[in-house]
Amino acid sequence: MKQYKEVYEIVKARLSEYRFHHSECVANRCVELATIYHVDKEAARLVRNCA
């Protein structure tokens, strides 16, 4: 699995500033939900970037 920093740079280069900001907000929500449901937070963050 790719590291978050690597995926972050790839996604940032491909999206407009607006879409990237939206994606970051979604990633943060994924981490919040992962915390609630006791699942891997980094995996949850990466799923948003790789989908």
Q: What local confidence, expressed as pLDDT, does residue 49 receive?
A: 54
- Can you give the residue ranges of every domain in the chain? 4-50
Q: Which stretches of the chain drop beneath a pLDDT of 70?
A: 1, 48-51
Q: What is the pLDDT of residue 1?
A: 61
Please state whether the predicted TM-score (pTM) of the whole model is above 0.85.
no
| 3-class secondary structure, 2 | coil
Distances (CA, A) of 13 to 1, 20, 39, 40: 20, 9, 28, 26
